[in-house]
Amino acid sequence: MATLTILVDDEVLRRTRIRALKEGLTVNAVLRDYLSRYADGRDRAGRDRAALRRLIEHAQAHPGASGGHRPRRADLYEGRASSPR
């Protein structure tokens, strides 16, 4: 396991410590979990990028032929952009 040193705003670290304590965690555990999810693409930004990619693919596959159909947000996140409502 590697050691990581980061610079964090004092107030952010204070609030993080308080929240982690309330959740029975340590700041280290919170950061390890986040970095693991980030590395695997399971973080929110990774899900958002995947949903955007599916939306663009859907739009390219069906240019101007939506017939008023708009994919639901949940469908984009689950990879079902082409299923009509």
pLDDT tens sequence across 49-85:
777 788 778 777 776 665 666 777 787 777 655 544 4
Which are the contacts of 57, defined by CB distance < 8 A and separation ≥ 6? 81
pLDDT tens sequence across 25-44:
999 999 998 888 888 777 77
Percent of the chain exceeding pLDDT 90 equals 33
H helical segments located in the chain: 10-22, 27-39, 44-61, 73-77
pLDDT value at position 39?
84
Q: pTM of this prediction?
A: 0.51
**Is 53 or 19 the better-scoring residue by pLDDT?**
19
